[in-house]
A and B are shown apart, each in its own frame.
Chain A
Amino acid sequence: MTGVDTRDAPGPSGRVVVAATGVAKRFGGVTALDGVDFDVRAGEVHALLGENGAGKSTLINVLSGVITDYDGEVAVDGMPVRFTGPAAAQAAGIATIHQELDLVPALSVADNLVLGREPRTRLRTVDRRAAARTAREHLDRLGADIDPRRPVGSLRVGEQQLVEIAKALALDARVLVMDEPTAALADGEVRRLFTTIGGLRRRGVGVVYISHRMEEIEVVADRATVLRNGSVAGVVPAGRMDRRRIVAMMVGGRAASLFEPAPADVAGAPGPLPASAGGDPLLHVTDLAVRPRASRPGRCEPAGISLTVRAGEIVGLAGLMGAGRTELLETLFGAGPAGRRTGTVLLAGRPYAPRRPRAALRAGVGFVPEDRRRSALVLEHPVGRSIVLAALSRLTSAGFVIHGRERAAVARSLTDLAIKTASAATPVGALSGGNQQKVVFARHLLTEPRLLLLDEPTRGVDIGAKAEIYRLLRRLAGDGMGILLASSELPELLGVCDRVVVLRRGRAVADLATGGCTAEDVLAAAMGGPAAGRDDR
């Protein structure tokens, strides 16, 4: 994906720092881990692969001291240990960087880095200068150009991750566990992270790297362990990483075909859809720009976007982190910040300027947001109720929900989208990521939209569910729905969409037909010239 191989300078390899032998763990009746062997050597990047539910998180939790009651043995430097908690694991040199970063947003970078170990002056007050100096040192070692005085909350996710890594190194971590570190990163930031990881290897830090993205593993990992159903399905050294083989290990006997029709090449990019893309213009955006009344840091509102989505067409939205993809979708859904809009938006030929999501839904527009936990679901609420939330008005009479109608709608959704749940009363949180995402899809499909806005619809979703979502999008487009799909994964954009509109800094800079372009073309447009900023590095 990046073309840069960070393994050019292998660190001091060989010595095993942490080893798990025959580790097993059961949750109630479910076996999460079943006799897993796994070790990390100094200076290696060891990828941990597997579908959701394969046992990756459980293994990580054992290694990092979150889970303390397990069978089997964990050894550090050859000595058997049993961590009493995360603090003990940290003291032994094992640091974990979770997907949800453990930083205090309101505190500065420096304060976060010295949290709990603040340098003191003689008067026992916090020595701010010493703290800033320490922070500066740690960040420099990573080559991170971040002002230690900035509040963490104002940093981009990629920068926050660097702070988290710096924090781990400040604690003399010898093994760094990274759980899907690139899930929230744009491509430029991913490359930057890989450079950092390369540096860690050279310093002899062992890295456990968890990711769903095969192309990253190929670039960054020295070897990969594949888990399936709580057991090790195989260990693959760097030289012999064959994407198809790894995917086969992950899914077992099942054939892995992400995109339909069957991919022409191994990369999984199937080329564009058969020409369904000839319908009438459904969404027609001309020079759309928004000047918000109060600007929020980290947001990039539309600043001149023109694009068209036809009925039956899937249009991709590409762009680096912060290019304004989410902001465009939110504006189109009436969920953006209040402010002055210029330009025109036509929906099926009529002026369309929703001021709240309710209006957008009424106009026949659906929206699957980026972060389903924060923006779409209540994990404690039952699956059935979560599905019907947006379409309640169709299921009620005089304000009372008609149970029969609701039951039928839920049953239809569960079948249509093949949502795997014990019952409609199961809390959404008990479902796998893919099935949670399908619940969000189902909610918006029940409103029978003509235009569907999707923001990173396959993030945190395992391969099987991804393929299902792609098939679903095909089917919906085939039925005449227009789809606008924002994604950070280029293969996804190129594989699913008819066209890709590339955004940079709130502007549409390219409109590429996926038939005749490559990932490099899209990336080049997204990064633009030398003026494109820090993400380019």
Chain B
Amino acid sequence: MTDTRVPPPEPAVTGPAAGTAGLRGATAHWLRRPRSRRELADRLFAVQSLFALLAVFVVAILASPRRDGEILFLTAGNLGNIVRAVSEIGIIAIGMTFVVLLGGIDLSVGAILGLSAVGTATLMVDSGLGILPAVAAVLAIGALFGALQGYAVARLGIQSFIVTLAGLQVARGIARIWSGGLGIPIAYGDGPQEAPPAFELLNGSINGVLPVPAVLFVLLGVAAVVVLRTTAFARHVYAIGGNEKAARLSGVPVTRVKVAVFAVAGLLAAVAGVVHAGQLNQGSPNDGAGYELDAIAAVVIGGTSLAGGSGSMGGTLAGALLLGILNNILALNNIDANVQLLIKGLVIVLAAALQKLRRGLA
């Protein structure tokens, strides 16, 4: 026993010099040994969606049925199918991530997808437009529709839930009117009432392995990751989602950013709509029903907080792929469709619980 008290350790703050050291990018941050258990936990949680993706992937391999010694899940065709199957949800989820980071929600994306699929089919088949003008027009409509919603959210101060709930109805209505309530089949050829054959490429695959929609999804995803990490626009989105008043007082053009974010969400939903029309050779006004919920699920599984201000695009991409793998492996094992719903629900709750845990530790 000694009577000299051990002075309490210095709290973990250091001078500004260490401050600059910490700036050496995420790579350095990762290579550095974690300072504390909490930091380690933080880092693990920061990539939880990737871990979850890997875990589900491994489980899928183990659980995959085999035929003639071949792991069916791992066949190139199957992996391509997985990404293709989630490509539309994934593309929507990219836009949804921006909206959720902003602290909002966009329920209209599924309906915009339907509207865009109808638009693509009508403009190419009935109006005889070429691929580029038709697609450009559809994308413009989607972006404009989103921008209008963004304007209502930002300037009229209506909650995005309500605005986009209304937008959902409006977009479906327009789609039904435009299509006459019927699905418009896309036939290919040079004649009247036929679409340019090149559009069928959307239903094809590169070298017979990589489906075009999947590639498009990955490319858009990469672009979105870059945008979210490096642009002032993204910083503004995070700031508004985290604390709108603070963002406004810091000179962030709040209205402009909100309009832009909803426009991006509408634009990407329109992209998904074009892909949808291309994949299914049809534009139907009922297409994309409920897709908004799957997209939100992907965003949530990816670790983006519905409260806004925190989350990542990589997480969303991982979340979308995770959903795709999950759907695929459940189907390959012929799990009853009703049980599949249960499992997917559990996964979403589990992801949210992990988020909660992460915040509890932080």
Q: Taking beta carbons and an 8 Å cutoff, which residues of A are in contact with B?
A: 28-31, 34, 53, 229-231, 333, 335, 356-358, 360-362, 367, 369, 374-378, 380-381, 383-385, 388-390, 392-393, 395-396, 399-401, 403, 407, 410-411, 414-415, 418-427, 431, 443, 447
Contacts and interface: CB of A to CB of B under 8 A. Distances in A.
B231 interface: yes
22 contacts: A28-B36, A28-B37, A28-B38, A29-B9, A31-B8, A358-B253, A375-B243, A376-B249, A378-B238, A380-B362, A389-B247, A392-B235, A410-B20, A414-B19, A414-B20, A419-B19, A420-B16, A421-B19, A422-B19, A422-B22, A424-B20, A424-B22
Contacts of B20: 407, 410-411, 414, 424
Interface string B76-88: 0000000000000
B13 interface: yes
B18 interface: yes
B249 A415 contact: no
A396 B232 contact: yes
Nearest to A397: B232
A431 B11 CA distance: 11
A368 B310 CA distance: 24
B23 interface: yes
Contact of A378 (B5, B231, B232, B242): B242
B250 A357 contact: yes
Contacts of B250: 357, 361, 376, 389-390, 443
B243 A374 contact: yes
A419 B252 CA distance: 24
Contact of B248 (A230, A356, A388, A415): A356
A390 B251 contact: yes
Contacts of A383: 19
A45 B6 CA distance: 32
Given A357-B248, A375-B249, 18 more contacts: A30-B8, A34-B8, A53-B11, A230-B8, A231-B5, A335-B248, A360-B251, A378-B242, A396-B231, A400-B231, A403-B25, A403-B230, A407-B23, A420-B14, A420-B15, A421-B13, A424-B19, A425-B29
Interface residues of B, number: 44
B45 interface: no
Given A28-B37, A423-B19, A423-B22, A374 B245 contact: yes
Contacts of B236: 392
Given A30-B12, A401-B231, A422-B14, A376 B246 contact: yes
Given A31-B8, A425-B29, A418 B16 contact: yes
Contacts of A414: 16, 19-20
Given A29-B9, A420-B13, A377 B246 contact: yes
B11 A399 contact: no
Contact of B12 (A231, A369, A422, A425): A422
Contacts of B5: 34, 231
B239 interface: yes
Given A380-B242, A392-B232, A401-B231, A30 B11 contact: yes
Contacts of A399: 231-233
B157 interface: no
Contacts of A447: 251
Given A53-B11, A399-B232, A423-B18, A381 B309 contact: yes
Contacts of B249: 333, 335, 357, 367, 369, 375-376
Contacts of B362: 380, 427
B90 to A, nearest CB: 24
A425 B22 contact: yes
A217 B239 CA distance: 39
Nearest to B25: A403
B231 A381 contact: no
B23 A384 contact: yes
A226 to B, nearest CB: 16
A385 B238 CA distance: 10
A369 B37 CA distance: 35
B251 A381 contact: no
Interface in B211-248: 230-233, 235-236, 238-239, 242-243, 245-248
Most chain-B CB neighbours within 10 Å: which of A335, A374, A389, A395? Answer: A389
Contacts of B156: none
B103 to A, nearest CB: 11
